[in-house]
Chain A
């Protein structure tokens, strides 16, 4: 089974600053999908950004970008110009190639605190 590791249980960032959340994963596959999901307190999980492993270019969505290092099996999330609304749990998730099923395999999450 694939393992997704988020080594930072908690992170803190000041408003308007930049923060990077770490994620590593273990797989023997060459083609797969990676995701970052955000889960605000008592609210539903929403997709922040996705990356297909066959794409070398790092995905970007407005203030959110990833640093995808395939050889190192690393997939970090950078949040620029942090806002109070970014405070949430962030989960990194891996999805195997289609012929191996469609389940998302999540890490344990990183709690992000944004201070004024």
Chain B
């Protein structure tokens, strides 16, 4: 595809359920980032991959959050035992290489935990 895609676009989960959010980066982009954007706020960094290696996970808010990119392309962000405070838009971004600085964002997945 031409841009970063994410699925699903909307997800409603009951508190305590596990969810999986998918990101398809731009083809050939080495770097992939996940951000969390709460309502009315700017995005906050969660984690970063270079190819299949997760090089930075300092932004993951708890051990309920887990991300993977096993083949260096598609990535999945998993949230276990969802809580209401997990409600947010989850943005994925990719970059040709992290050093270039320019990140291209997907449309996001809006997660609502009830």
A98 pairs with B99, CB closer than 8 A: yes
Number of A residues with CB within 8 Å of any CB on chain B: 24
Stretch of A40-48, A57-65, A75-83 on the interface side: A40-48
- Taking CB as reference atom, which chain A residue is nearest B105? A45
4 additional A-B pairs beyond A4-B42, A44-B108, beta carbons within 8 Å, are A47-B103, A104-B33, A104-B103, A107-B42
Complex interface: chain A residues within 8 A of B35 (CB): 104
| Contact status A103-B42, CB under 8 Å | no
The size of the chain B interface, using a CB distance under 8 A, is: 28
- Which residues of chain A have a CB within 8 Å of any CB of chain B? 4, 33, 35, 37, 43-47, 50, 52, 91, 93, 95, 98, 101-109
Contact of B43 among A43, A52, A95, A106 (CB under 8 A): A106
Write the chain B residue with the least CB distance to A91: B42
Contact A45 B31, beta carbon cutoff 8 Å: no
